[in-house]
Amino acid sequence: MPQFVVSLEIRRSEISDRADVVFPVAPVVEKSGTFIDWEGRERPFPTALPDTGALSDLRILDALAETMGLRLGLPDIAAARAELVALGQRRSTILEHPAAPPGETPKPVLGEAVLSTWRMLLDAGRMQDGEPHLAGTARAPVARCPP
């Protein structure tokens, strides 16, 4: 059976290069939605930049369904959220604290070190490639070692 790939993309990607049809969708700041945080909690967010003319994933999928003769009845985020509440479905659960206590902090001996790190946020991430001005604001990673 032949595959037909439809891609909803903010910008060109390896997936859009392989897709039969690509629908450009609004980036996060131009649509409302919900993030799931690291605890599994839903964090809804409103549109930050309204009236740009960009269509959300939801609006594109609703229009496609309507064109195909199906009525999803989800013209906006409020309708989609109401539908999810009516269905009683949750895609996430709140995570409980781990049953095991945290391990001991490593105590290096002479000639050893303990590395503690975090994401730099402005790095080689997919949403930043091809954007030299934003990448130019990134701080250089630094390693600090006590004597």
Segment 34-62, tens digit of pLDDT:
887 777 788 889 999 988 988 899 989 88
Name the nearest CA neighbour of 47 among 63, 59, 62: 59
Number of neighbours of residue 52 by Cβ within 10 angstroms: 12
Q: How many domains, in total, are found in the chain?
A: 1
Residue with tokens 């964090």: 43
Considering only CA atoms, which of 48, 71, 51 is closest in space to residue 61? 71
With vertex at residue 86, the alpha carbon angle to CA 93 and CA 26, rounded to the nearest 5 degrees, is 75
Q: Is residue 40 part of a domain?
A: yes
Structure tokens at 18: 């392989």
111, part of any domain? no
Distance CA 62, CA 76 (A): 9
Handedness of CA 126, 130, 136, 141 (dihedral sign): positive
What percentage of residues in the chain have a pLDDT greater than 70? 88
Q: How far is CA 24 from CA 36, 51, 52, 81, 109, in A?
A: 23, 16, 13, 23, 55
Within 8 A by CB and 6+ apart from 39, the residues are: 94, 95
Confidence class for position 95, pLDDT limits 50, 70, 90: low
Tell me, what's the pLDDT at 84?
Answer: 77
Determine, yes or no, domain membership for 114. Answer: no
Give the chain's radius of gyration (CA, Å): 22
pTM of the model: 0.56
Tell me if 103 is assigned to some domain: no
Residue identified by tokens 């496609």 is 64
Q: Which domain holds residue 47?
A: 6-87
Residue 114 has pLDDT above 60, yes or no: yes
